[in-house]
Structure 1
Amino acid sequence: MKKLNIYFTAGIPQLEDTVEIIKIIQDSGADMMEIGMPYSDPVADGPVIQQAHERALKNGMTISTLFSQLKSIKNEIKIPIILMGYINPVLSFGFENFCRECSESGVSGLIIPDFPPIEFENYQKILEKYNLNFTFLVTPETSNKRIVYLDSLSSGFLYAVSSSSTTGNGTSVLKNEDYLSRLASLSLKNPVMIGFGIKSKEDFENVTEKADGGIIGTAFVNILLQNRDWKKNVIDFIHSIKE
């Protein structure tokens, strides 16, 4: 069974909805989740998730608030929670302090797309101290040698971006056979999860033919932003992928 990873931005539609969304994702059958930490300049994200960041910041979401929310349900959540965000807010919070809070909040891993791999060695011991996985991203343009290198640094899984675009880009190439075959041919230590542009069960099945799972973000976030009846709609959406 291929693993489904759901991404959403903390603090939307309203500040206090994060806890309920986490529970819904778990109860609806997702295998793991990524929670985005809102940031004022989310350069790797497309318009929908940028809008989510803006709304979450307006709602008052902060890293400290998110940790407080996570701690309130730590004992109820059994699937992995990964925090995703940008390096500047994490460094401002203090890297070790951030990792300590992650550990105390039930977080199992981090994805920081703008974290330079060359710096990883300086932070690896802190991550290990707090038992946190760290996932790097690869794209169709990443060389085999670089993919193997980033896989060697990663733990938990390797995030394979489906195309070289921002998240939610409607032009992303989901059935990139050469790229997916290339990933499958490499001797990687981590499971490969495909992300960017997955909007339906068909998309999910296409990209996971040669991978271990898929990550859905923009399509899920869009429901949270656009639908008043978002609770029912997100449950139906996850069920439609998992059925």
Structure 2
Amino acid sequence: MNRIEKVLNQKKKLFIPYITPEFPVKGVTLPLLEALVDAGSDMIEMGIPFSDPIADGPTIQHSSYVALKNGVNLKKIFSLVAEFRKNYSTPLILMGYINSILAWGLEKFICEAVSSGVDGLIVADLPVEEADELIRVSQDFKFSNIFLVAPTSSDERIKMISEKSTHFVYCVSVTGVTGEREDFGGEEFENFMRRVKANSKKPYVVGFGISKREHVMRAWQWADGVVVGSALIKQLFGVEDISKCVKIAYEFINELKNGLVEAKG
């Protein structure tokens, strides 16, 4: 049983923050990962910075730009994950784009990811219909693939993506790119969640647009977990001190998950 399975078997509502490595400053990644675990994160999603992140809104695009300027590449990411794994068992999922993975080499990428301690992968621009080779190699390495479903996905497509996803499905709450939204939920979202529930045999989490405690609670009514990305990234804009980044992230995640703020340190 791998780390993702262990968490899913706990049968609780999941909280999954997203970070961009080495954003907003060099050296922040490991302390930030540790703070997210301490704040109660069940899994952590980490972006692979890319020069043309088509699924990401301006907030995460900017964080990718900063990360690339700070020298982030796959070798650096795997090194950071390996260091994190010395003390923590929280599942780590990478989110990236197919070009950067293929440039590394698909089998080499998955081998290095697994060796460093990465548990799974989301490829934002790889349709499931074109993912057979990724799935095959991932199965060889017991590596988890998480595929995306959107409100525009048909019932049949939701069924197929559920079958192809290894452990769980990622539901994009709205059509469009990542980013904070003032409103979350509504009739369209609820109808989408009903269709996912009816057609997915796997657990499913919801991301895109979740930025408030009330959003988290609403999403948990319908799904097995929530992903919070842009809202966390935005909290860290312009912060140059690592300890301050850690404090901000810990308190923000703690508040979103638990509805309270408990000062760290």
* TM-score calculated relative to the size of structure 2: 0.87
- What residue is the counterpart of 2:176 in the other structure? 165
Tell me the number of residue pairs that the alignment of Structure 1 and Structure 2 aligns: 242
What SS does structure 1 have at the residue aligned with 2:206? strand
* CA distance in structure 2 between the partners assigned to 1:169 and 1:72 by the alignment: 31
Partner of 2:202: 190
**Structure 1 residues 59-111: Cα deviation after superposition (integer angstroms, max 9, x where no partner):** 11111111111112212121110000000010000111100111111111000
The alignment status of 1:47 with 2:58, answered yes or no, reads yes
**Structure 1 residue 231 corresponds to structure 2 residue 243:** no
Compare 162-171 and 20-29 and name the one that shifted more. Answer: 162-171
Structure 1: how far apart are the matches of 2:231 and 2:65? 17
> Superposed, which structure 2 residues align to 1:1-243 within 5 Å?
1-170=12-181, 173-175=184-186, 176-186=189-199, 188-228=200-240, 229-243=244-258
The residue identity in structure 1 corresponding to 2:76 is T
Alpha-carbon deviation of 1:122?
Answer: 2.1
SS of 1:12 mapped into structure 2: coil
State the Cα distance separating 1:210 from its structure 2 match: 1.4
Shift of 1:35: 0.3
Partner SS state of residue 193, structure 1 = strand
Which ranges in structure 2 are unaligned for 5 or more consecutive residues?
1-11, 259-265
Q: Matched residues in 1 for 2:31 and 2:77: separation?
A: 13
Aligned Cα RMSD in Å? 1.4
Identify which range, 219-228 or 3-12, moves more after superposition.
219-228
Render the CA deviation track for 1:138-190: whole Å, top value 9, x for unaligned.
1111001000101110012100011001101536653322112222222x221
Instruction: Give % identity.
Output: 34
Aligned partners of 1:153, 1:172: CA distance in 2, in Å? 31
- Tell me how far apart the structure 2 counterparts of residues 87 and 129 of structure 1 sit (CA, whole Å): 19
- Structure 1: state its 5+ residue gaps: none
CA contact (8 A) 2:181 2:210 kept: no
Could you tell me whether the CA contact under 8 Å between 2:173 and 2:209 is conserved in 1? yes
CA-to-aligned-CA distance 1:38-68 (integer Å, 9 cap, x gap):
0000111001000001000111111111111
C-alpha deviation, 1:241, in angstroms: 1.8
Provide the C-alpha distance between the structure 2 equivalents of 1:122 and 1:30, rounded to a whole number of angstroms.
31
Q: Distance in 2 between matches of 1:131 and 1:75?
A: 20
Contact 2:97 2:126 in 1 (8 A): yes
Are the equivalent residues in 1 in contact too, given 2:208–2:227 (CA < 8 A)?
A: yes
